[in-house]
Amino acid sequence: MSSSAPLDNDRLLRALLREPVDRTPVWLMRQAGRYLPEYRETRAKAGSFMGLAGNPELACEVTLQPLRRFRLDAAILFSDILTVPDAMGLGLGFAEGEGPRFDRPVRSRAEIDALGVPDPERDLRYVMDAVRLIRRELGGRVPLIGFAGSPWTLATYMVEGASTRDFRRVKGLMFDEPAALHALLGRLAEAVALYLDAQVAAGAQAVMVFDTWGGVLSPAAYREFSLDYMARVVAGVRRSHDGRRVPVVLFTKGGGAWIEDIAATGCDAVGLDWTTDLGDARARVGSRVALQGNLDPCVLYASPVTIREHVGQVLASFGRGSGHVFNLGHGLHPGMDPEHVGACIEAVHALSPAHHG
């Protein structure tokens, strides 16, 4: 099947563009991940996280695994937000149980100025090959979402060198050498836009920017150091491919206070964590953007009956009509029970048609 074949299920794209749908589309952040035994098996075969994400066949396999189990309305590329800084030469590694780590963090203006902007088809070829392979294997069943980290979020890892609680180093740069941080963010905005644009060219039908750490900033710093650079990314990605509009979703965890500003970037949809009420958010942004979210992932630790009740509350809080993509407010946890994940997805199938048509 050619990659330009029509989609069997285009609910995700329609909802992201506020076009009518018969029910609310659903996908879940980290739907391909450690909570699935088949994922853990493939991951073991790959030897390491980058052995998995860096191998197009294995990345395609784990991308498709949740779609074999669950009635999901989208696939999302299996990869990591840190592939871009890795391709910039920082040396990405994952220490067991410790999260990501860079061998060569970037802290001085000279180190920032020495960074190149990766050419996606040359320096991130394994990602582009994975996108092409997944599109082929999906055969038009559901759309494929591409993604990248936001410039600010990538900068936090690049400057800190590892996970951090207080963001001391990157905020030190922000407060004492803002020009150096702006230089880094400008380069990252360029790299991320090129990267997402290449994913679209390779077959991604929607793209999402994960701003995992925008919420640790003050409102003024968020606008200056995170949002402005996401706006550049939005402006730099082609928005149509194969005659269809390619929606862009921006997700700032902890950014519920700033959704009007996020919507003003020109994105098509805003991702929300569970600390903002969907109905309030919809009242604030109107029909300018779609909303994606926002069940507290911890609900999936509860019983299937409770899960269904909370799914119903999320659907009801958005209310009638299109413009909602059901998701969690954050990724699935490794310890979650696949049956509970299935209960969540089935509840969206069962309860959402009443909010449409």
Among all residues, which ones are annotated catalytic?
30, 34, 43, 80, 157
Q: Could you tell me the two tokens for 307?
A: 């899960």
Could you tell me which residues are beta bridge partners of residue 144?
Answer: 75
Could you tell me which residues are beta bridge partners of residue 15?
Answer: none
Give least dist CB 302 to its own copies, A. Answer: 4
Under the binding rule (CB under 8 A), the answer on residue 240 touching its own copies is: no
Under the binding rule (CB under 8 A), the answer on residue 331 touching its own copies is: no
Q: Could you tell me the two tokens for 211?
A: 């701003």
Give the phi and the psi of residue 207 in degrees, each rounded to 5: -135, 150
Cα dist. 190→172, 187, 235, 326 in Å?
23, 5, 10, 30
Q: Considering only the stretches 19-27, 62-70, 144-152, 295-303, report the one whose residues sit in contact with its own copies under the rule CB under 8 A.
A: 295-303
Sign, Cα dihedral of 40, 41, 47, 49 = negative
Query: Of residues 159, 207, 299, 332, which one binds its own copies by CB under 8 A?
Result: 299
Under the binding rule (CB under 8 A), the answer on residue 167 touching its own copies is: yes
Taking CB atoms within 8 Å and a gap of at least 24, the contacts of 99-103 are: 99/162, 99/163, 100/157, 100/162, 100/163, 101/161, 101/162, 102/157, 102/158, 102/161, 102/162
Give least dist CB 97 to its own copies, A. Answer: 13
* Residue showing tokens 């999906």: 138
Q: Considering only the stretches 35-43, 61-69, 129-137, 163-171, report the one whose residues sit in contact with its own copies under the rule CB under 8 A.
A: 163-171
Residue (51 or 99) nearer to its own copies, CB: 99
Under the binding rule (CB under 8 A), the answer on residue 306 touching its own copies is: yes
Give least dist CB 303 to its own copies, A. Answer: 6
What secondary structure letter does DSSP report for 86?
Answer: I
Q: Considering only the stretches 37-45, 97-105, 160-168, 224-232, report the one whose residues sit in contact with its own copies under the rule CB under 8 A.
A: 160-168
Q: Considering only the stretches 8-16, 76-84, 184-192, 219-227, report the one whose residues sit in contact with its own copies under the rule CB under 8 A.
A: 219-227
Q: Could you tell me the two tokens for 265?
A: 């970037």
Under the binding rule (CB under 8 A), the answer on residue 163 touching its own copies is: no
Residue (236 or 279) nearer to its own copies, CB: 279
Query: Of residues 44, 95, 110, 220, which one binds its own copies by CB under 8 A?
Result: 220
134: nearest Cα among 205, 195, 73: 205
Which residue type does 124 have? L
Report the distance separating Cα 205 and Cα 31, nearest Å. 18
Q: Considering only the stretches 23-31, 40-48, 153-161, 253-261, report the one whose residues sit in contact with its own copies under the rule CB under 8 A.
A: 253-261
Report the distance separating Cα 62 and Cα 150, nearest Å. 24
Give the phi and the psi of residue 256 in degrees, each rounded to 5: -55, -30
Report the distance separating Cα 194 and Cα 198, nearest Å. 6
Under the binding rule (CB under 8 A), the answer on residue 338 touching its own copies is: no
Q: Could you tell me the two tokens for 221?
A: 């710093």
Under the binding rule (CB under 8 A), the answer on residue 304 touching its own copies is: no
Give least dist CB 254 to its own copies, A. Answer: 7
Give least dist CB 301 to its own copies, A. Answer: 5
Give least dist CB 308 to its own copies, A. Answer: 12
Query: Of residues 262-281, which lie at the interface with its own copies (CB under 8 A)?
Result: 274-277, 280
Query: Of residues 110-139, which lie at the interface with its own copies (CB under 8 A)?
Result: none
What secondary structure letter does DSSP report for 287?
Answer: T
Give least dist CB 215 to its own copies, A. Answer: 7
Which residues sit at the interface with its own copies, rule CB under 8 A?
166-168, 171-172, 175-176, 215-222, 254, 256-257, 274-277, 280, 296-299, 301-303, 306, 310, 313, 333, 335
